[in-house]
Structure 1
Amino acid sequence: LVGMHTAPGPVGMVAAGGGPMMAGSDQMDIVFRGVGGHGSMPQLAKDPVVMAALAVVEFQTIVSRMIPPHETAVLTVGSVQAGSAHNVIPDRALLKVNLRWFEPHVRERLIDGIRAVCDGIARTYGMREDQLPQVRLTGGSTPLVNDANLCARLAAALGKAIGPDRVLTNLPPVTASEDCQLLKGPYPEIPLAYLFVGVADPQVYSEALAAGKLFPYSPHSPDYRVDLAAVPFGTKVAGQVMLELLGR
């Protein structure tokens, strides 16, 4: 199984390294329930906005205080949704959370920590046991691990076609995630090679490095710019990979 993805590196470069390459991920919806009321009489309400806000802050200690420093974990709150009026305390608040991890036990620690934080805050604010926050996993993916032998084979073939200095084999793992590996289905033994192909203008990339940036822009950002020279280069990479796999 072979996959390819654009990367904000310079056109003409391709990464084909073996081992763990991309993190596993989980999407999570957390609903804090409270007691709604008028903003002028907060003592008669139980404010889920305050509970959710406290949770956002406390979540940061899960990674910094519960996960060993040498293990990778990312917890991001991407959305906070509650209420629609200036003077009304709503009866619920929604947090949308994203997790990144490489090891299953780290994933479990993140999820357990989130549940503990949410339940503790709700209990502190007087919510009954049947009114504790609802924590629901809504999707995700496993870590992406490249097969070392397959990647070495493809890197050698690509090196002959585009030059060995243009093939990176030591790219460190990134905490972005992918679902290409799920195409293996019930056959996890199928070897996988997931390649990254540079699409940035080389001059723009060099200027970014000179400015102290790792890349000129981030994936999925509105600033993402693809140099059209990447199209024929990516086609050449894909074609060379197929020829190698077909023994041509």
Structure 2
Amino acid sequence: MPVLPKINEYADELTAIRRDFHEHPEIGFEEVRTSGIVADLLRKWGVDEVHTGIGKTGVVGIINGKREGKRTIGLRADMDALPMQELTNLPYASKNPGAFHGCGHDSHTTMLLGAARYLAETRDFAGRAVVIFQPAEEGLGGARAMLADGLFQKFPCDEVYGMHNNPLAEPNKFGVKPGPAMAGATFFDITVNGVGSHGAMPHHARDPIVIATALVQNLQSIVSRNVQPTQPAVLSVTQIHSGSAYNVVPDKAVISGTIRYFSDEVRDLIHTRLNKLCKGFAESYDVEIVPDLRPVFDVLMNDADLSESYREAAAEIVGEENATITKELVMGSEDFADMLRAVPGAYCTLGHKGSVPVHNPGFLLDDAMLPVGASIMARIIERRLAA
């Protein structure tokens, strides 16, 4: 079975919707225009219930099948853009300075809208489908906000599925990894409170730059000399901020970065070592060092049986040769992991034409993937709620 014919009929409309979202990106918890359009389209297309304001700017739609059933399947897409400048020169490039759909969430939202329209028109399933449009995936805790708002208490689901575009895979190549699939993540800020002085008289200072740079080097030993080599983990320092003048030793330096891991035990080990290093450096240099560690993403765990079910649904759309079970761990993180901790399900990737990776200012998305992704999402509902 190729792309579902009914979805293919409105492929051009899906492209127009996606490009409109792309032209008007909104970052996390500011998706007012986007969520408003999503809610209006769901109502226009006859979705039975449309709920807004879930997790601040989230939207949830309920679609009842034409046959009675006790089971409910959830489909989720994220809506937020990245806080970065677009450099694509597209005719529909971002009109909002400092905001860009550089991760393809505009496509995720559009594909789920396409699936919702199809399901509302056909209703060829037993039970109900819940379509979840989530805000603030990019490190701001949108999934946790929806869960804190009672997402699965208000809209109980037996299973839940998500999807992400992949410009580095072959077009229409579907991939899903059972078990741990994407890393958990901690963001950290370490503040070194030293003593400033004139740049020509550093003996009056406790130089936070010297301390911070030494600490950065030691942070790199945490993974290489503490974590078991067979356990994947990353600690990256991505920012150092300090100083304001050529002739002033500053009184403060801030080190920021991220930690990635695939188990809570490894996460806790890295956190403990980082805290101990900060305490030791503070004592050695006679300064105050304040670490702030924030676990922002859980490890994404795909249910093994539901991963295979997802693959089987995708195979009906893209062909068996393009629907694969993968083994590769992804060090990137995804807050759909929080939903998968609450409800079993699976998260996949879908390839599209392109060579520029996500989170790059020149990222381009191929609109040809939209009816394909929408069809896979619709098909998993029809298969899992076929009884």
Matching residue of 2:35: none
Say whether the 8 Å CA contact 1:15–1:171 is kept in structure 2: no
Superposition deviation, residue 120 in structure 1:
2.0
Larger RCO (CA within 8 A; separation ≥ 6): 1
Determine whether 1:114 maps to 2:274. yes
Q: Provide the rounded CA distance (Å) in 2 between the counterparts of 1:138 and 1:153.
A: 34
- In 2, the alpha carbon distance for the partners of 1:232 and 1:63 equals 42
**Equivalent residue number for residue 101 of structure 2:** none
Aligned residue number for residue 319 of structure 2:
163
Deviation at 1:96, TM superposition (A): 1.0
Identity among equivalent positions (%) equals 32
The runs of 5 or more residues in structure 1 that have no matched partner are 202-215
2:371 to 202, 222, 232: 232
* 1:113 shift after superposition: 1.4
Q: Distance in 1 between matches of 2:366 and 2:222?
A: 40
Query: Counterparts in 2 of 1:112-191, with a 5 A limit?
Result: 112-127=272-287, 131=288, 133-183=289-339, 188=341, 190-191=343-344
Contact 1:11 1:227 in 2 (8 A): no
Q: Which residue of the other structure, out of 224, 233, 244, is the alignment partner of 1:73? A: 233
Distance 2:343 2:278 in 1: 40
TM-score, normalised with respect to structure 2: 0.56
Question: Following TM superposition, by how much is the alpha carbon of 1:219 offset from its aligned partner in structure 2, in angstroms?
Answer: 2.5
Give the 3-state SS of the residue equivalent to 1:65 in structure 2: helix
**CA distance in structure 2 between the aligned counterparts of 1:229 and 1:27, rounded to whole angstroms:** 35
Q: Gapped runs of 5+ residues in structure 2?
A: 1-159
- Three-state SS of the structure 2 residue aligned to 1:64 is helix
Q: Determine whether 1:2 maps to 2:158.
A: no
Select 1:194's aligned residue among 340, 347, 352: 347
Q: Give the CA RMSD over aligned residues.
A: 1.7
Q: CA deviation at 1:190?
A: 2.2
In structure 2, distance between residues paired with 1:96 and 1:159: 43
Residue identity matched to 1:158 = A
Q: CA deviation at 1:139?
A: 4.3
The SS at the match of 2:301 is strand
After TM superposition, give the deviation of residue 246 of structure 1 in Å.
Answer: 2.8
TM-score (norm 1): 0.86
The runs of at least 4 consecutive aligned structure 1 residues that moved more than 6 Å come to: none
- 1:246 is aligned to 385
- Tell me the equivalent position of 1:37: 197
Q: CA deviation at 1:228?
A: 2.1
1:90-109 superposed Cα distances (whole Å, 9 cap, x missing partner): 11111112000011111111
SS in structure 2 of the partner of residue 200 of structure 1: coil
Q: Residue deviations 1:123-163, cap 9 Å, x none?
A: 22233xxx2x1111234111001001111112112212321
